Amino acid sequence: MTKATILVLLSLLLSGNASVTAARSSGYGAMDAKDSIIQTVASEEDGIVCDTTGAKRHKVLAQALGTLFDQYEIHEGNLSFHMGGNPAGKYGVVKFDDALIPTALKRAAKATAGFPVPIEVSFLMGPQDAVFWYGCTPPPTRYFSIRSYLAYRFPGEGRNISGYMPGAELGDPVNNAVIRTTGGPTDPFGKTTLFVSTGDKVAFHRVREAFAQAGLPGEAANLDVLPSELVRFRDTTLPWAVDRSDTIAWQFRVNEFINPAEGAAYLDKAWPVFLLRAKPSEGGRGDGGVAPAMPLTAPPLKTRGTGESEEWLRSALEKLVEAVKTRMEVDRGLVLTHSFPLAPCMPDAIRCISDLDYCPVAMPIPQWNLTACNPTCDWFTRDSLYSTPPADSDFINFMIPRDRILIVVGVNHALLGKAAFTNFLVTGIRNPERPGHTPNFSSSHLAGSGQYYLPGVRPESDFLYAQELSRDCGFPPRPFCELVTEDNIAYDEYLFFAERAYLEMQTTVGPSPDEVISPFILAFDPAADPLLTAVDVPEPRVKPEGGMGTGRRHGAAATLRGQRLSSMMAENGDKEGGTAEQ
């Protein structure tokens, strides 16, 4: 392959004579210029909302690649949303040719139990390498963001290599409030953009300049920093089993499209992504050296909080709880038997990378016979405030038996402007976060449910919610009642609860735990049972933030991932199969 080949193809594209029906190249390893450009042209599909045409973007891409060819070995992969997600949204991931993953790394990943995210959707980066995506942002949606994560780390020495999944965000993400596009700072949807991940300032400037020469405004380029002080970069002069470099992964979150048809077309597309491997310089090394030419360090983290609190709704929330209790007792003959408060869970990404004894998310739950500490940040993002059951929760009663009703009560953060998008999910541990097994409710779905139970307290009740989960919603179904069948979640199956509040637009990051009220779950059972007694509703708990999105080991709740999920599946005989999707 030569640079002349790329330039010849560029001239064909500009003249409109390049074939768009040629066969795709096999795999997506080191880029053969002709195959790669034709493959990209052939993959363009209709239905994508964007301010540039596919033909225009391909011309720019071809010219930029031609400019970068002299300095980099180019590998093509793809960014797609087909791997999975959860019922509330999709997560885009990047995948390159499996041949780029060293055999020793594949073996180490296979030998390490509890990797819920395949090693194939992460990749290795040299100190002067870059990965970039040039494409279109989603059509109008409540929230989207892109960020690199430290996916897997393999510490230790010797032949027996094992790893763990930090799943740690390497800084604040690029979201719809801050992304740089051809639409400027106020119009982020359906616009053309360039997103570059690298630990080297020189590499970023080269990529940005190559696209600028090809016609993309420099204001549309986004830098995703891989902090040199946190990431173990690849040294290709050594076998991977010796250098034990980290793997990097992308998370491209998209939640709640305004136009579902446009959203479906966007999620169905696979976008080309390129890995640039630094070529040897004169007298240099094949990996561009063992350090970035101009190292990039972690930018300062954004500060959460606007000074505006939801506390003024506290009294109305207490009235809502009393109204729900009265409705359940009078209309249904049920009494409040359990209350499960949630609390902010804010992991410290740096500790997730470096401290094997730090378990802010996947902590032990002795009541479920889960005793292992799984050191992971579980792919949390600072764009969100997560609320989950704290460590001292009554986990043994996290169930919904045949005659129980659960009512989720909380504040609709999105209606108050404290979040652009919120989601509350309830999932069974046998099929965690899987569609059909995970009732979930967005802020738009919950709107009006507070007024349904508390019509006389307005406007406060407009900003509250009370969502029912029941084995029988009646006929016709009761408003704001979600039917949970035994096929969805078994009667004796443990449950996990979580609320996610994404992106306070004023701060362009997740809301502050000091300014929002976390939700709680009320459990109602038949009053005729003599073993059941009414309980008080505890105050929601709040935890301060510190560090890189901090959380405390004994104050955060466990999600069902990794080794803990594997052991739980084994205990339940893997009755329904599957693993958690990210």
d(CA 305, CA 307): 6
Task: For residue 36, give the nearest of 82, 1, 83, 80 by alpha carbon.
Answer: 1
Exposure string for 373-389, b = 16+ CB within 10 A, e = fewer? bbbbbbbbbbbbbbbbb
Q: State the pLDDT at residue 289.
A: 56
Domain count, the chain: 2
Task: For residue 73, give the nearest of 18, 116, 33 by alpha carbon.
Answer: 33
Map residue 1 onto helix, strand or coil.
coil
Q: State the pLDDT at residue 538.
A: 56
> Do residues 235 and 333 share a domain?
no
- As separate numbers, helices (DSSP H) first and strands (DSSP E) second, the chain gives 12, 21
> Do residues 393 and 450 share a domain?
yes
Evaluate whether residue 451 is within a structural domain: yes
Evaluate whether residue 52 is within a structural domain: yes
- 310 CA to centre of own chain: 26
Evaluate whether residue 297 is within a structural domain: no
- Read off the pLDDT of each residue in 436-447 and give the average, rounded to a whole number: 91
| 500 DSSP 8-state letter | E
pLDDT of 371 > 60? The answer is yes
Q: State the pLDDT at residue 82.
A: 78
> Do residues 153 and 198 share a domain?
yes
Q: CB-based contacts of 520: which residues, under 8 Å, 6+ apart?
A: 339, 340, 341, 342, 408, 409, 410, 537, 538, 540
Q: CB-based contacts of 478: which residues, under 8 Å, 6+ apart?
A: 468, 470
> Do residues 266 and 352 share a domain?
no
> Do residues 251 and 148 share a domain?
yes
How much is the mean pLDDT over the chain? 83
> Do residues 416 and 272 share a domain?
no
> Do residues 76 and 218 share a domain?
yes
> Do residues 150 and 42 share a domain?
yes
- Crossing angle of helices 33-42 and 3-15, in 10° steps, is 30
> Do residues 62 and 205 share a domain?
yes
* Residue range 33-76, pLDDT digits in tens: 444 443 433 334 567 999 999 999 999 999 999 999 999 999 99
Say which CATH number the domain at 353 has: 2.60.120
> Do residues 162 and 97 share a domain?
yes
* Residue range 11-45, pLDDT digits in tens: 434 333 332 222 223 233 455 544 444 343 333 45
* Residue range 73-109, pLDDT digits in tens: 999 999 999 766 666 678 899 999 999 999 999 988 8
Mean pLDDT check: name the lowest of 24-33, 296-305, 480-489: 24-33
* Residue range 198-207, pLDDT digits in tens: 999 999 999 9
Q: State the pLDDT at residue 115.
A: 66
- Read off the pLDDT of each residue in 394-418 and give the average, rounded to a whole number: 97
Q: CB-based contacts of 424: which residues, under 8 Å, 6+ apart?
A: 408, 410, 440, 441, 446, 467, 497, 498, 499, 500, 519
* Residue range 330-348, pLDDT digits in tens: 999 999 999 999 999 999 9
d(CA 567, CA 365): 12
Q: State the pLDDT at residue 113.
A: 63
pLDDT of 581 > 90? The answer is no
Of 225, 257, 278, which one is at a domain's C-terminal end? 278
Q: State the pLDDT at residue 414.
A: 97
Write out the residue range of the structural domain in which residue 499 sits.
Answer: 311-363+372-526
User: What is the pTM for the complete model shown?
Assistant: 0.84
* Residue range 519-559, pLDDT digits in tens: 999 999 998 654 555 555 555 554 434 434 333 333 333 33
- Nearest-5° angle of CA 38, CA 39, CA 43? 115
Evaluate whether residue 340 is within a structural domain: yes
Evaluate whether residue 15 is within a structural domain: no
Of 278, 303, 324, which one is at a domain's C-terminal end? 278
> Do residues 247 and 344 share a domain?
no
- Nearest-5° angle of CA 184, CA 188, CA 194? 80
> Do residues 85 and 221 share a domain?
yes
User: Which is it for the CA torsion 372, 377, 379, 383, positive or negative?
Assistant: positive
Q: State the pLDDT at residue 539.
A: 56
Evaluate whether residue 472 is within a structural domain: yes
d(CA 269, CA 520): 38
**What is the percent of the chain where pLDDT is above 70?**
79
Evaluate whether residue 450 is within a structural domain: yes
Q: 516 falls in which pLDDT band (50, 70, 90)? A: very high
Q: Are 501 and 422 in contact (CB under 8 A)?
A: yes
Structure tokens at 530: 């003599």
Structure tokens at 241: 């089993």
Q: State the pLDDT at residue 42.
A: 34
* Residue range 226-270, pLDDT digits in tens: 999 999 999 988 999 998 999 999 999 999 999 999 999 999 999
Evaluate whether residue 438 is within a structural domain: yes
Q: 434 falls in which pLDDT band (50, 70, 90)? A: confident
Q: State the pLDDT at residue 173.
A: 98
